[in-house]
Amino acid sequence: MENVLEIKGLTKRYDGFTLDNVNLALPKGNIMGFIGENGAGKSTTIKLILNVIHRDSGEVKVFGRDNIEYENEIKENIGVVYDESNFPDTLNAGNINTIMKNIYKNWDQDAFDHYLKKFSLPRKKDIKSFSRGMKMKLAIATALSHQAKLLILDEPTSGLDPIIRDEILDIFLDFIQDEEHSIFLSTHITSDIEKIADYIAFIHQGKIVFVESKDVLLDTYGVLKCRTSEFDALDKTFVKGYRKNKFGVEALVEKHKLKEQYTIDHASIEDIMLFTVRGRSIERIDN
Give per-residue pLDDT as tens, 3-26: 999 999 999 999 999 999 999 999
pLDDT tens for 150-196 read 999 998 887 788 888 888 899 899 999 988 999 999 988 899 999 99
State which amino acid sits at residue 47: K
pLDDT tens-digit map of 112-132: 999 999 889 999 999 999 998
Q: What's the pLDDT score for residue 150?
A: 97
- pLDDT tens digits for 75-116? 999 999 988 778 999 999 999 999 999 999 999 999 999 999
Residue pair 218/252 in contact (Cβ under 8 Å)? The answer is no
Domain ranges of the chain: 3-213, 217-286
Distance CA 30, CA 276 (A): 24
DSSP string, the chain: --EEEEEEEEEEEETTEEEEEEEEEEETT-EEEEE--TTSSHHHHHHHHTTSS--SEEEEEETTEETTTTHHHHHHTEEEE-SS--S-TT--HHHHHHHHHTT-TT--HHHHHHHHHHTT--SSS-GGG--HHHHHHHHHHHHTSS--SEEEEESTTTT--HHHHHHHHHHHHHHTTTSS-EEEEE-S-HHHHHHH-SEEEEEETTEEEEEEEHHHHHHHEEEEEE-HHHHHTS-GGGEEEEEEETTEEEEEEEGGG--S---EEE--HHHHHHHHHHHHHHHHHH-
With a cut of 50, say whether residue 284 has pLDDT above it: no
Give pTM, 2 decimals.
0.90
Q: For the chain, what's the residue count?
A: 287
- Using the predicted structure, report yes or no on whether residue 285 has a pLDDT greater than 80: no
* pLDDT tens digit sequence for 48-71: 999 999 999 999 999 999 999 999
| The pLDDT value given to residue 158 | 79
CATH superfamily of 3-213: P-loop containing nucleotide triphosphate hydrolases (3.40.50.300)
Q: What pLDDT digit, counting tens, does each position of 223-236 carry?
A: 999 999 999 988 88
Determine the average pLDDT of the residues in 216-244: 91
pLDDT value at residue 256? 87
pLDDT for residue 260 is more than 80: no
Spatial distance between the Cα atoms of 222 and 5, rounded to a whole number of angstroms:
30
